[in-house]
Amino acid sequence: MNERKKIILADDDITSLKLGRDALSDIYEITTVPSGEKLLKLLGNMTPDLILLDVEMPEMNGYETIKRIKDNPEFQNIPVIFVTGLSSDNEEETGLLLGAVDYVKKPFKKAILRARINTHLQIVELMRELEQLTAIDPLTKISNRRGFDAQFKKEWKRAVESKFYIGFMIIDADDFKSYNDTYGHSQGDVLLKKISDVFNSYCKSEQGIAARWGGEEFVLLLPGADMDGIFEAAEEIRKNIESLVIHTGSGEETSTTISIGVNSIIPDNASKPADFIDKADQALYNAKKTGKNKVLKVNI
């Protein structure tokens, strides 16, 4: 059974709120709020699939409310439909130019409102599917760098706000070029898939985020992991990779090792994500330089 889509209806008129709820609550999960201010406050606690917004509201009208929504990167992709008694072409143009996906005039017809909502929810679903496809590495089926960057920004912001650790590791397959030269690029792809399977399995059990960083490099993010925690996780992953038995097309058994650089901090507003990642990358460089098949922490 599909989960019901969440819709917020913002209107200061009690009758309009009741009519909207009656028209939609059999299909959607409806939350009503009486003002733009309460809508913005609610968005801090839930992310709806769509917003129905009146224009004429006291203190903060619908136009100002949608400006605030579209100015916030966390909310700007939520589709907004104006449902309002203002019927002039100029008012409709203003609403659409501010970022609304549609403009429905009161009194609305139930069937028309439902049809328009359904259309825009379908568009949102298609866009989400497309975003997911462009965020996945086609070889390993885990996140690519683009997908990881989006998740990293969210976790970094959460760590800053909540004042908790964020652990990060960057991993490189040792002597991968030599492996490719010996067994061929197709077998090299098999190796990368096997490595990514270990990361992905670990992340599912520990709620981490794994991604292919590029080539034979991977990254893994563990929200809440301090330096000891991320080091222990990296050691476990290193040992699991080292124990892998990888079969070639000719029946030969091969193996590989990885080197890992790790970092962990409680970030604040002055912390720079790029510096955080660069330090882990330097630790990886030192691990490769000093013998490979090891985990090294950043130099503090």
Q: Which residues are identified as catalytic?
A: 216
Give the CA distances from residue 146 to residues 45, 117, 226, in Å, rounded to whole numbers and listed in that order. 26, 30, 25
Supply 252's token pair. 């030969």
CA distance 293 to 193: 19
Amino acid at the residue 258:
I
DSSP-assigned letter for residue 251:
S
- Residue 149 has a CB neighbour count (10 Å cut-off) of 13
Element (H, E) at 209: strand 209-214
DSSP class of residue 256 equals -
Cα distance between residue 99 and residue 89, in whole Å: 16
Residues 194, 177 contacting (CB under 8 angstroms): no
**Rounded distance between C-alpha atoms, residue 102 and residue 120, angstroms:** 9
Q: Is 47 left (phi over 0), alpha (psi -120 to 50) or beta?
A: beta
Under DSSP, the state recorded for 1 is: -
> In sequence order, what E strands does 37-154 have?
50-53, 80-84, 102-105
